[in-house]
């Protein structure tokens, strides 16, 4: 109920005759209907935002998924308003039927889509179908509500439209603010739409079965009560079952047994060892986790390394490698939420894998967005380790832009180095070299390198303010023994900066905030 353009053209002029069927005086009755408009608009926007948010989580590209959801829903709203025209003669029962269907479809939409993704690995087409159905039902509301408002107290068409749209827009504002600041943080995506569905059903019942109950014959009225009761029972059962459903869906999605799930962080135990997922991306794989962390950290430690900044790295593996150096005096770990480190602190298997790194007194954990923290800090570091989510995940693409690397450059001491965990150069060569181009565009000199872990390559980018031409990877003077850190062995370290022909440099433009092209490259 919050996208006016398609629906404004389909407003139906209602009869000017006052209906004697309202249960209360015209003034209060009209207020109740306009209040229902506000509530339904808020619920409609919650459905839209929930679908868009779920699309960004499951589909991977928030811009694409949001565009699809909004465009399909707005188009369907226009169609729904046209479809509602034949029903304005029986506006009251038609409106309640629409609200019952909308409550059921809207309240169950996130659960159904999540189930399809978890068990059948399908999302895009079901999302489009759900958005179309919701749009049709939301679009049908305005013509029907206009008819009901005019029946209570006739007024000029322009004045009626103004009142109706004013309530509609206020409701959209309420729903738009409640969703990100109250509903989503406290209820999650699944229960948020369930609650919206319940409210939707109650609002429709209040308008029709109280104000316009005389418009419904006895049997129809009983049927409507039964339908509303069935929908509310369905949504109540879904609300109660949501925690069990989420556990079952996680078990279907992830390898091994899910042992903990805190926000976006899920930890599983497999036969090979623990694994960690952040926002659906596997950040710690039992096979190769240690080798990847070694390759990320140790080349950057060749030089002064008293102060180290770790961006991301809530699993503690990169931190474990940093702390192998006795010269390290201070390590700042910046994670989006401090809770991201909870699993590495408490899960016995992860804690052992990370060497209990977060218990080291040299470590300070800061819960903040990496971009905002680097932009605001006055601290300076010898080494910056960017152990961040891949650029294809949500808004993480901005952490691989020329602007972010330029900000990171400002926190480096004159001889400082930054190392970036980049997309795999074999699977995503354009994304890998795009990240490298961003570092160069920020005024840094780069030394790309790679390692092979299992069947795939892992890509890394070492960059510094000053880097001699022809520089090669080398261990620090106080580096751990290769027996402890196998990556530092000469036969492993030296070849890492050599790329096979199929991974050779590709000249790419840098990714920027205005054009985060690396996200598209990483999804190729």
Instruction: Enumerate the H helices of 446-502 as residue ranges.
Output: 490-493
Q: How far is CA 127 from the centre of its chain?
A: 15
- Write the DSSP string, 3-29: -HHHHHTTPPPPPSSPPTT-SS-HHHH
CA distances from 427 to 430, 435, 459, 492, 522 (A): 9, 14, 10, 21, 9
203 contacts 40 by C-beta, under 8 angstroms: yes
- The answer to whether 83 and 136 have CB atoms below 8 angstroms apart is yes
Do the Cβ atoms of 503 and 429 come closer than 8 Å? yes
Q: Which pairing describes strands 273-278 and 281-284: parallel, antiparallel, or unpaired?
A: antiparallel
Q: Give the position of tokens 């308003």.
A: 81
Phi and psi at residue 456, to the nearest 5°: -125, 160
Looking only at the bridges linking them, the beta strands covering 273-278 and 265-270 are antiparallel
Cβ atoms of 449 and 473 within 8 Å: the answer is yes
Other CB atoms within a 10 A radius of the CB of residue 21 amount to 15
Catalytic residue list contains 251: no
Beta bridge mates, 257: 269
* Beta strands at 381-387 and 456-464: parallel, antiparallel or unpaired: unpaired
Catalytic-labelled residue, pool 61, 315, 387, 457: 387
Inter-residue contact 268 to 257 (CB < 8 Å): yes
403 C-beta neighbours (distance < 10 Å), count? 19
Residues with catalytic annotation?
387
């Amino acid at each position: 109920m919050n996208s006016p353009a398609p629906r404004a053209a389909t407003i139906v002029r209602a009869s000017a005759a006052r209906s004697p069927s309202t249960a209360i005086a015209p003034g209060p009755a009209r207020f109740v209907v306009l209040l229902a408009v506000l509530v339904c608009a808020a619920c409609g926007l919650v459905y839209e935002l929930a679908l868009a948010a779920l699309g960004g989580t499951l589909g991977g590209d928030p811009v694409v998924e949001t565009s699809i959801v909004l465009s399909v829903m707005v188009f369907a709203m226009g169609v729904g308003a046209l479809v509602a025209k034949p029903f304005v003669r029986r506006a009251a029962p038609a409106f309640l039927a629409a609200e019952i269907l909308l409550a059921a479809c809207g309240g169950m939409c996130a659960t159904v889509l999540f189930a399809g993704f978890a068990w059948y690995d399908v999302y895009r087409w079901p999302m489009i179908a759900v958005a179309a159905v919701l749009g049709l039902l939301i679009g049908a509301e305005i013509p029907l509500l206009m008819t009901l408002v005019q029946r209570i107290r006739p007024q000029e068409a322009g004045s009626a439209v103004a009142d109706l749209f004013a309530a509609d827009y206020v409701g959209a504002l309420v729903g738009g603010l409640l969703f990100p600041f109250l509903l989503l943080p406290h209820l999650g995506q699944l229960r948020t739409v369930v609650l919206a569905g319940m409210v939707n059903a109650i609002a429709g019942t209040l308008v029709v079965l109280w104000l316009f109950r005389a418009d419904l014959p006895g049997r129809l009225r009983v049927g409507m009560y039964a339908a509303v009761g069935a929908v509310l029972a369905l949504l109540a059962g879904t609300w109660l079952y949501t925690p069990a459903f989420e556990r079952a869906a996680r078990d279907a999605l992830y390898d091994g047994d899910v042992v903990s799930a805190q926000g976006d962080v899920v930890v599983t135990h497999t036969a090979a060892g623990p694994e960690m997922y952040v926002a659906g991306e596997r950040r710690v794989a039992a096979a190769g986790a240690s080798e990847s962390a070694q390759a990320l950290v140790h080349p950057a430690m060749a030089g002064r390394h008293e102060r180290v900044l770790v961006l991301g790295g809530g699993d503690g593996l990169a931190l474990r490698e940093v702390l192998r150096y006795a010269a390290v005096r201070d390590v700042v770990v910046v994670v989006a939420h401090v809770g991201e480190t909870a699993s590495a602190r408490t899960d016995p298997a992860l804690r052992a894998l990370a060497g209990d790194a977060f218990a080291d007194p040299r470590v300070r954990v800061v819960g903040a967005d990496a971009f905002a923290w680097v932009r605001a800090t006055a601290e300076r570091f010898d080494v910056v380790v960017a152990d961040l989510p891949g650029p294809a995940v949500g808004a993480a693409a901005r952490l691989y832009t020329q602007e972010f690397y330029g900000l990171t450059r400002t926190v480096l001491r004159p001889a400082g180095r930054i190392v970036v965990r980049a997309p795999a150069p074999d699977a995503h060569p354009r994304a890998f070299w795009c990240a490298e181009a961003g570092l160069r565009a920020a005024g840094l000199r780069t030394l790309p390198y790679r390692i092979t872990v299992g069947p795939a390559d892992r890509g890394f980018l070492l960059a510094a303010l000053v880097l001699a031409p022809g520089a090669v990877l080398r261990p620090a003077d106080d580096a751990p023994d290769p027996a402890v850190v196998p990556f530092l062995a000469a036969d492993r370290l030296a070849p890492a900066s050599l790329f096979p022909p199929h991974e050779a440099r590709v000249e790419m433009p840098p990714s920027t905030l205005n054009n985060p092209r690396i996200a598209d490259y990483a999804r190729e």
